[in-house]
Structure 1
Amino acid sequence: MSWAIVADSSCNLRGFEPLAPDCVYRFAPLKINVADEEFIDDASLDVAELNRRVSADETASSSACPSVGEWADLFRQADNIIAITISANLSGSYEAAVMARDIVLEEGERNIFIVNSRAAGGKLELLAVEVDRYLAAHPEATFNEVTAHICDLEQSSTVLFLLSSYENLAKAGRMPKMAGVLANKLKIRILGTASSEGTIKVVGPARSQKKAFEKIVGCMKADGYTAGPVYIDHVFNERAAQELSDRIHQDWPNAEITIMPCGGLCSYYAEEDGLIIGYGW
């Protein structure tokens, strides 16, 4: 039986090759609309140019989820499908995937399970990679066993956003506009997480990067983190991502930390110098 791990492009894995036998990874690109131009969040996207265009445009830009047809095409690529979407409260991606699942299931026998990550960025990467590892370690696992495993992973992992620019979030209604304006003017870094309402729930402000990193470590301890996988996504800020990795390793020397650049959608929301941290415990 063949397997496919499928995500939308809020998962920043690009070119990922699963370890599990007879398994592929595919992603469905979201789109970012700036003025009259559509940027497709695939492997060929020039993220720096997208950010430049968004910054130069004074009007509110927007994002669009993958279509039902795009999801359906991906669901036809294997017998067993594990799909992971950006938070259902942030995008219509989950709803489109559910509609595509219903269409494809009517065409023949397949197993399709869709996970609402309740997040974006690093948490999706964690889910995708850990499911692949489970399949590689348990090649005889049933579909129900795999779906139970990813549900456990989703419940025992989270995402944090460390932001220093908030214009796009405010324009899109993901955080109060006045709060974004004040935070920008005062040069305050904001540590937040994804709320159930599809906005950024502020964990706390930080006047310096060092203090922000201490807050992140504090959140990890409060969650019961014990050196599980960590994914740090950055918007052209690899230096800060590495410094955060070093800080995490001070408390958990054996932590498995992966650093990667944000694709278009995550870059659009995290903005310049932003970090998105996904971790599991």
Structure 2
Amino acid sequence: MKFRVAMDSAGELQEAFKGKDEYRIVPLTLMIGDEEIIDDGTINQKVLIKKIADSPTCAKTACPSPEAYFREYDCGAEHVYGVTISAELSGSFQSAVIARDMYLDKYPDAKIHVFNSRSTSVGETMIVHMITQMEAEGVPFEEIVETIEAWNDEKLTYFTLDNLETLRKNGRLSRLKALAATVLKIKPICIGNHEGIIEQIDQARGSNKALIKMVDHIVEGTADPEKKLLGISHCNCYERAVMVRDAILKRMHVKEVILQETGGLSTVYANDGGIIVVI
């Protein structure tokens, strides 16, 4: 096998890659109330959204073990890649790196690299997409790593949340502020910056105004868009995701677009109506 990608379940695998031996999802564990769910891609998004809404406590997550990554690395592939959620948000990257070191202990000459996406969801999907394209073109391993890490240094993750209950439940937003935001329909607009740290950059009253403002920030913050890959993921709001895509494309041309539904972990944090954009 030419290559193997082991991506944690914070990212979403494109439909064309599912079931192929080159791709493996390393699941995180979701804890919603008293229930533990292995985030292996089998849970229905709408069922998960209902479980989150019905739980009085905030959903929690646990990262994969190094052994879980090692099992997927150890497959005889010429090139091995790990892809994880931002190291600022989870211990998944650290587990993937420990597994990389275990792999190199066993195979000292192996070609293996772990990408800290400094993002989540479609941000990871995009890395897998680029790996696949360059492997198909016969690009050398070292050049693939260098190219994607350079892209990773420049890209930004934008998102807006329609439902603030997760922020209230995990204590990042007080009950009073959450109530006020709900009554006034205030929606935060945030970025995952170049270090993978989440920052609020704006807010708006109403979901549509928030999406318009987010598009403004995306267009104003993107240089040379015709060279860029645009990624969009959504939590149970396909029509709004298409609206965001079309609004961006009316104002700038991009190289390619990936549009995905959020998987388990990203659904937990984006919640119903959340939109994530990476460029």
TM-score (norm 2): 0.89
Deviations 1:226-257, CA, capped at 9 Å, x for gaps:
13221111111001001111111211255522
How far apart in 1 are the matches of 2:149 and 2:197?
Answer: 23
Secondary structure of the residue aligned to 1:223 is: coil
Q: How many residues align?
A: 273
Equivalents in 2 of 1:275, 1:114: separation in Å? 26
In structure 2, the residue matched to 1:71 is: 69
Gaps of 5+ in 1: none
SS state at 1:94 partner: helix
Name the counterpart of 2:26: 28
Q: CA RMSD in A?
A: 2.3
Alpha-carbon distance, 1:195 to partner: 5.2
Q: Which of the residues 194, 199, 202 maps onto 1:201?
A: 199
- C-alpha deviation, 1:101, in angstroms: 1.0
Does the residue aligned with 1:165 lie in a helix, a strand or coil? coil
Matched residues in 1 for 2:4 and 2:267: separation? 26
- Relative to the length of structure 1, the TM-score reads 0.88
Is contact 1:230-1:277 (8 Å) kept?
yes
**Equivalent runs, 1:1-281 vs 2, <5 Å:** 2-17=2-17, 24-77=22-75, 78-108=77-107, 109-137=109-137, 139=138, 141-173=139-171, 175-177=172-174, 179-194=177-192, 200-220=198-218, 221-227=220-226, 228-253=228-253, 256-279=256-279
Distance 1:104 1:180, change over 3 A: farther
Structure-2 separation of matches of 1:165 and 1:122: 19
Structure 2 stretches of 5 or more lacking a match? none
Distance in 2 between residues matched to 1:214 and 1:96, nearest whole Å: 38
- CA shift, 1:152, in A, is 1.0
> Percent same amino acid at aligned positions?
27
Amino acid at match of 1:6: A
Return the alpha-carbon distance in structure 1 between the equivalents of residues 189 and 43 of structure 2.
27
Change (3 A) 1:225 1:207: farther
Letter of the 1:269 counterpart: Y
